[in-house]
Structures are given as structure tokens and as C-alpha cells.
């Protein structure tokens, strides 16, 4: 029998409060003191088809408990590296306040929260919500600009408006392109006959956006893709979970066959993190009710934790030089 003084506090995935990665809570942004601030934006009022991404933050947090690392960090058996050790203070800031039926007020609340996180010196990590949330997030990142936007997505999201609606989930990248502090835009994983109309594709190309389908990405490989992205500069990464193939992430509002696989996304994110400075990122469009296996939320959590691991490890290496 184990003696009382030898027992450990296990904090297993199914126990305790379900925060992102089981990291501590900061419920007052005015008191934020952290390296990384995770915040949910449970807003899916910009959705054009199947709603449900408002439940995304909860599903991703639930999935993340499997990968909760505690204070000692995470050991990567494939690379023999420890990630996210005690040096890094990561907190879960809960969710942006969403006003039901008022998309624009909810976007205003999102922008204000991101501005506050940036002012406090923490890196914002956002859990959506549908992709419309990326537009106010981009506005809130103004102080960190100029930066490039790297999008992983099945859809271009470059529509100017839908019958006057300019801030839905199909407009978000177009809205980012209109911000003075956004530079080049890279759109990876774009595919399918429902991705966008030709006029929107033409507008994106006229802007200078780099657009690659999964097939084109595989032809180039990670190094070929990185050659397209200015090295040593600032990046904001927005990950729509439907950029991955619906065979592994079916819980999303607009699934599209022919997507990227987990290992492909993982390798690309690791390459980007080592290519320049990631100032923040979001993961959106997880709609858990369409996935009875719960793997979509878990995969989204893993992708987010992978990227956070790579970004913080790069910062460690830079500080140790």
C-alpha cells in the first residue's frame, strides 16, 4: 500500500474543472498576468448553414483534458523534446460575453477582449465559434501589427457580403484584408465547388493572396510552402477545423471532402512556428453535435496544443541564444 505522504495528486482528465489543458483560470482580464491567454468565443451567429459552433469552446476544452500536462510540461516521444514546461504561464480566460441575436455587439465584445489581452502582454489563443470571429480578433490585434495572416481552411472566406451581411463566417478573410496592419494573406487547404464564387477568388488574387489546395500543398511539401511565406516576420494563424478532412474531423458546419490530414497540418504548423514569430492563433468551426465520437473537439485541442508547444519552444530557443 502506498503511504499517504507518497501519494500524488493525479488530476486525471475526468476530474476537476474543465479548462483548456486544465490550465488555471483568469476570470478578470484586468488582472491578467500570463504568457498565453486562451479565450473562447462561443459565437455562431455568422453561420450560413449548420449552426452549433457556439458549443465549440466547450468541446475543445473537454478534448484538451486528455492532453493536460500539469506543471512539468509535455514530453514528445517522437522528437525527444519537452514542451510547455513550468517556465510558461498559460491561463484560461473563459469566454467572451455573447449577446444572443446581436452579432455585431458580440463582435465588439470579442475585439475589446483581444485588445485587452494584447495590452497585458499575453499571446492570445482563441477557440471559436464560427469563422466570423476572426474578423474582430484581427481588429483587436492592431497593436501587434503589421503581420501576415496564414489560414488553414476548406473555404476562401473572401465574400464581400451576403445580401448586406459583411461580418459572417464567409467574409472574415476579406475583412482582414481591409485592415492596414494586415500584410500578405496565405490560404491553405482551399478546395471544392462550394468554397467560393469565382468573383471572390479573383478579388483574393487581385489582393495578392496565395491560395493552395491540399493537392497543391502536397506537391510543394512543407519546405516549398514555407518558401512562399516571408521568413522572420510576424504571423497570425487562423485554423478552420474543416481545413482537415471530415474523415477525422466531421464535427463542423460545412465539411468538405479532400482535406488535410493531422500529420500534414502538424508538420506545417511546426514549420511556420520555426519560420518566424507567431503572435497568436485561433481554431474555429468545431460543432460537436455532428460528431458522436467527440474526436473533432479532441483533434482541435491537439492541433492547438501542438502549435502552442512549437511557438513557445521557438521562443525558448531564441531567449537562450
pLDDT recorded at residue 4: 63
Sequential DSSP letters for 49-108: S---GGGHHHHHHHHHGGG--GGG-EEETTTTEEES-TT--EEEEEE----TT-HHHHHH
pLDDT recorded at residue 64: 96
pLDDT recorded at residue 5: 64
Binding residue ranges for Mn(2+): 131, 153, 155, 157, 240, 242
As a whole number of Å, the CA-based R_g of the chain is: 19
pLDDT recorded at residue 124: 98
pLDDT recorded at residue 247: 97
Grouped pLDDT means (10 residues each) for the chain, 321 residues: 67 90 96 98 96 98 87 83 92 98 97 98 98 98 98 96 87 98 98 87 97 98 98 98 98 97 98 98 98 97 97 92 77
Whole-prediction pTM: 0.96
Please give the CATH superfamily to which domain 32-320 belongs: Ureohydrolase domain (3.40.800.10)
Cα–Cα distance, 318 to 321 (Å, whole number): 5
pLDDT recorded at residue 171: 95
pLDDT recorded at residue 69: 65
Binding residue ranges: 131, 153, 155, 157, 240, 242
Spans of all domains in the chain: 32-320
pLDDT recorded at residue 12: 86
pLDDT recorded at residue 94: 98
pLDDT recorded at residue 318: 87
- CB 54: neighbour CB atoms within 10 A? 21
Amino acid at each position: 500500500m502506498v503511504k499517504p505522504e507518497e501519494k500524488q495528486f493525479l488530476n486525471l482528465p475526468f476530474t476537476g474543472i474543465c479548462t483548456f489543458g486544465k490550465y488555471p483560470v483568469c476570470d478578470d482580464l484586468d488582472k491578467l498576468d500570463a504568457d498565453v491567454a486562451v479565450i473562447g468565443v462561443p459565437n455562431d451567429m455568422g453561420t450560413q448553414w449548420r449552426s452549433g459552433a457556439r458549443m465549440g469552446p466547450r468541446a475543445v476544452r473537454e478534448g484538451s483534458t486528455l492532453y493536460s500536462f500539469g506543471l512539468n510540461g509535455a514530453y514528445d516521444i517522437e522528437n525527444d523534446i519537452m514542451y510547455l514546461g513550468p517556465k510558461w504561464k498559460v491561463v484560461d480566460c473563459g469566454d467572451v460575453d455573447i449577446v444572443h441575436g446581436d452579432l455585431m455587439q458580440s463582435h465588439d465584445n470579442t475585439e475589446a477582449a483581444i485588445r485587452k489581452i494584447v495590452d497585458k502582454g499575453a499571446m492570445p489563443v482563441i477557440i471559436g465559434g464560427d469563422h466570423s470571429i476572426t474578423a474582430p480578433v484581427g481588429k483587436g490585434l492592431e497593436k501587434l501589427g503589421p503581420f501576415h495572416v496564414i489560414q488553414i481552411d476548406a473555404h476562401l472566406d473572401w465574400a464581400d457580403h451576403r445580401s448586406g451581411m459583411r461580418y459572417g463566417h464567409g467574409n472574415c478573410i476579406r475583412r482582414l484584408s481591409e485592415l492596414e496592419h494586415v500584410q500578405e494573406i496565405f490560404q491553405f487547404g482551399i478546395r471544392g465547388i462550394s468554397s467560393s464564387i469565382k468573383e471572390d477568388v479573383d478579388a483574393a488574387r487581385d489582393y495578392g493572396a496565395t491560395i493552395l489546395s491540399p493537392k497543391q500543398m502536397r506537391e510543394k511539401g512543407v519546405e516549398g510552402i514555407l518558401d512562399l511565406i516571408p521568413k522572420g516576420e510576424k504571423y497570425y494563424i487562423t485554423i478552420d477545423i474543416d481545413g482537415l478532412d471530415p474523415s477525422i474531423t466531421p464535427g463542423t458546419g460545412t465539411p468538405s471532402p479532400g482535406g488535410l490530414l493531422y500529420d500534414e497540418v502538424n508538420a506545417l504548423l511546426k514549420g511556420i512556428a520555426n519560420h518566424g514569430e507567431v503572435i497568436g492563433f485561433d481554431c474555429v468551426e468545431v460543432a460537436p453535435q455532428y460528431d458522436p465520437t467527440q474526436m473533432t473537439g479532441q483533434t482541435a485541442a491537439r492541433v492547438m496544443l501542438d502549435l502552442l508547444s512549437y511557438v513557445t519552444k521557438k521562443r525558448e530557443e531564441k531567449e537562450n541564444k
